[in-house]
Amino acid sequence: MLKEQGALQYRTDVTEEPNAAGATTIWNCSPKAMAATNSSERAVEIVQRDRKASTSYLQRRLEIG
């Protein structure tokens, strides 16, 4: 089955350095992207503090979903 899918295609933008040409910084992203970044940062803080990383736990703590 995998051979039928053809050659692998890799995304090179994933490994680019931050702020490389064309990279988006937090200062020029959309409000929706900014909110997602803030939620992600808060999620990391919660996991580090509470030592719990389940999806339902984070949704309750972040009051989403």
Mean pLDDT by 10 residues, the chain (65 residues): 76 65 55 75 90 91 86
What CA–CA distances, in Å, run from 37 to 3, 8, 34? Answer: 37, 30, 5
Domain ranges of the chain: 11-62
CA 49 to chain centre: 19
Instruction: Tell me the pTM.
Output: 0.48
Residues in the chain: 65
Predicted pLDDT at 19: 57
